[in-house]
Amino acid sequence: MKKFKINNGQPYPLGASVQEGGINFSMVNSSKEECGIIFYRKGVEQKERILFDQKHRIGNICCVFVEGIAACDYEYNFFIGDRVFVDPYAGKIVGNEKWRCGEFSRLLLRGGFEHGAFDWQGTAPLHIPYHESIMYCLNVRSYTRHFSSKVKKKGTFEGLIEKLPYLKQLGINAVELMPAYEFEECEWEEEDKLARAHTIEYQVEHIDEELTETLEQPRAKRLNCWGFKEAYYFAPKASYSASGNACDEFKRMVREFHKNGIEVVMQFYFPDHIKQGYILEIIKHWVLEYHIDGVHLKGKMLPVTLVATEPLLANTKIMCEDFYLHEIYKDSENPADRTLAYYRDEFMYDMRRYLKGDQDMLRNFQYHMRNVHPKCGVINYITNYYGFTLNDLVSYDKKHNEPNGENNADGTDYNCSWNCGPEGPSRKMAVRKLRHKQMKNALTFLLLAQGTPLLLAGDEFGNSQNGNNNCYCQDNETGWVDWRGLTKNSDIFEYVKELVAFRKKHTILHLDTSLSMLDRYGYGYPDISYHGEEAWKAQLEGHNRHIGIMYCGKSAEGTEGDYIYIASNMHWNMHRFALPSIANYEWIPAIGTAENQVVYDEEKNVGYIDIKPRSITVLTGKKLPQKAKPSRQINDKKSSKKGN
Q: What is the reported pLDDT for 602?
A: 78
Q: What is the pTM of this model?
A: 0.92
Distance CA 69, CA 568 (A): 68
Long-range contact list for 297-304, CB < 8 A, 24+ apart? 297/268, 297/270, 298/228, 298/267, 298/268, 298/269, 298/270, 299/269, 299/270, 299/271, 299/272, 299/274, 300/272, 301/270, 301/272, 301/273, 301/274, 301/276, 302/270, 302/276, 303/276, 303/277, 303/279
Distance CA 95, CA 112 (A): 10
Residue of higher predicted confidence among 403 and 626: 403
Nearest alpha carbon to residue 417 among 381, 465, 467, 367: 467
In contact, 550 and 578? CB cutoff 8 Å:
no
- DSSP states of 8-25 as a string? E--S-SSEEEEETTEEEE
**Per-residue model confidence as pLDDT tens digits over 39-90:** 998 866 668 889 998 889 999 999 999 998 888 889 999 999 999 999 999 9
Distance CA 608, CA 630 (A): 12
pLDDT at 307 over 80: yes
CB atoms within 10 A of CB 410: 15
Mean residue pLDDT of the chain comes to: 90
Q: What is the reported pLDDT for 630?
A: 55
Tell me the backbone φ, ψ of residue 507, rounded to 5 degrees.
-60, -30
Alpha carbon dihedral 121, 289, 90, 266, in 10-degree steps, equals -110
In contact, 38 and 111? CB cutoff 8 Å:
no
Longest Cα separation, the chain = 99
CB-based contacts of 219: which residues, under 8 Å, 6+ apart? 103, 104, 105, 188, 189
Fold of 528-634: Immunoglobulin-like (2.60.40)
pLDDT mean over 114-130: 93
Q: What is the reported pLDDT for 476?
A: 95
Beta strands across the sheet bearing 598-601: 575-579, 606-611, 598-601, 633-634
Distance CA 347, CA 501 (A): 22
Omega into 630 within 30° of 0, i.e. cis? no
pLDDT at 218 over 80: no
pLDDT mean over 528-538: 95
pLDDT at 577 over 80: yes
Per-residue H/E/C for 533-577: CECCECCCCCCCCEEEEEEEEECCCCCCEEEEEEEEECCCCCEEE
- Please compute Rg for the chain using Cα positions: 28
**Per-residue model confidence as pLDDT tens digits over 582-640:** 988 999 999 999 999 899 887 777 899 999 999 999 999 998 887 655 554 434 433 33
Nearest alpha carbon to residue 286 among 298, 294, 278: 294
Nearest alpha carbon to residue 359 among 531, 152, 92, 545: 545
Same CATH topology for 128-194+218-343 and 345-373+382-514?
A: yes
CB-based contacts of 376: which residues, under 8 Å, 6+ apart? 323, 325, 338, 340, 341, 342
In contact, 252 and 241? CB cutoff 8 Å:
no
In contact, 508 and 562? CB cutoff 8 Å:
yes
CB atoms within 10 A of CB 530: 19
Q: What is the reported pLDDT for 396?
A: 98
Q: pLDDT over 90 for what percent of the chain?
A: 79
For 228, 399, 402, 410, 593, the CA distances from 407, given in Å and listed in that order, are 21, 11, 6, 8, 38
- Read off the pLDDT band of 105 (50, 70, 90): low
Tell me the backbone φ, ψ of residue 531, rounded to 5 degrees.
-140, 160
Q: pLDDT over 70 for what percent of the chain?
A: 90
pLDDT mean over 213-233: 75
CATH code for the domain defined by 345-373+382-514: 3.20.20.80
Tell me the backbone φ, ψ of residue 610, rounded to 5 degrees.
-95, 115
In contact, 39 and 76? CB cutoff 8 Å:
yes
Nearest alpha carbon to residue 473 among 187, 196, 157: 187
Q: What is the reported pLDDT for 219?
A: 57
Q: What is the reported pLDDT for 334?
A: 84
Tell me the backbone φ, ψ of residue 621, rounded to 5 degrees.
-85, 125
Q: What is the reported pLDDT for 208?
A: 43
Nearest alpha carbon to residue 401 among 461, 463, 472, 459: 472
Q: What is the reported pLDDT for 72?
A: 86
For 289, 460, 511, 530, the CA distances from 560, given in Å and listed in that order, are 47, 33, 18, 22
Q: What is the reported pLDDT for 204?
A: 41
pLDDT at 467 over 70: yes
The region, left, alpha or beta by phi > 0 then psi within -120 to 50, assigned to residue 158 is alpha
The angle, 0 to 180 degrees and rounded to 10, between the axes of the packed helices 429-448 and 490-505 is 20
Superfamily of domain 128-194+218-343: Glycosidases (3.20.20.80)
Fold of 5-85: Immunoglobulin-like (2.60.40)
Residue 602 DSSP code: T
pLDDT mean over 409-415: 96
* Per-domain boundaries in the chain: 5-85, 128-194+218-343, 345-373+382-514, 528-634
The region, left, alpha or beta by phi > 0 then psi within -120 to 50, assigned to residue 127 is left
**Per-residue model confidence as pLDDT tens digits over 359-398:** 999 999 999 999 999 999 999 999 999 999 999 999 999 9
